[in-house]
Amino acid sequence: MNLRKTLTEAQLILEAEGVAHALIGGFALAVYGYHRATADIDLLADGAKKEVIKKSFLAKGYSLLHESAEVLQFTGPGFIDILLANRPLSQEMLKLSEPNSSLGVYVLRAEDLIGLKIQAYKNDPSRELQDKADIQKLLALENLKMEIVKKYADLFGEWSEIEKIRGAIS
C-alpha cells in the first residue's frame, strides 16, 4: 500500500465534492519532522458532509468498514479514517489548518494535533503510550503556542500530564 497515493486519492475525492478536510494522525506528524510507522491516512473532514463523503468513497470503489456519528473508516487501495468535524472546536481546527505544498493537502496545526492526541488517548486508553510519544515530539517544536495546547489539555484535565511530558524534553 502506498500512503502517498492513498492520500492523493482521498484528496481528489473530497475536493471534487467540495468537502473541507485536513490531514491528521501519523502521516501528518511527518509534516512536523516526526516520522513513525502508520498504516492508514487519517483526515478531519466537515461533519455536515458525512453522507456526501460516504457516497463519494463508495462510488470510487472503497468499502465502508465502520461508521459512527464521529468517524468513517474505509478500505480499498488503502485504509482511510475520516474523523468528522461536528463540533465548533473541530470545525475551527479545520478552518485554521494550513496548506502543505509538498503533500498538496491542508494539515492541522501542531497544537490541534496535540489536542486530538489527548482526546484519542482519553477516549481509548490503549492508545496512551503512542499518543503521548507523538505529543512529546510535537511539544519539542519551536514556536508552539502553548496557550492553545493548554486549552485542549484543560478540556480533558490533562495539563499536568502535558507539563510532565514537556519536562521530559531535553
* 3-class DSSP string for 48-108: HHHHHHHHHHHHCCCEEEEECCCEEEEECCCEEEEEEECCHHHHHHHHCCEEECCCCEEEC
pLDDT given at position 3? 86
- Residues of the chain short of pLDDT 70, as ranges, are 1, 170
Q: Phi, psi at residue 145, to the nearest 5°? A: -90, 95
Q: What is the pTM of this model?
A: 0.94
pLDDT given at position 1? 60
Element (H, E) at 112: helix 110-123
Instruction: Tell which residue, 169, 29, 12, has the closest CA to residue 113.
Output: 29
- The CATH code belonging to domain 1-108 is 3.30.460.40
Q: Phi, psi at residue 128, to the nearest 5°? A: -55, -50
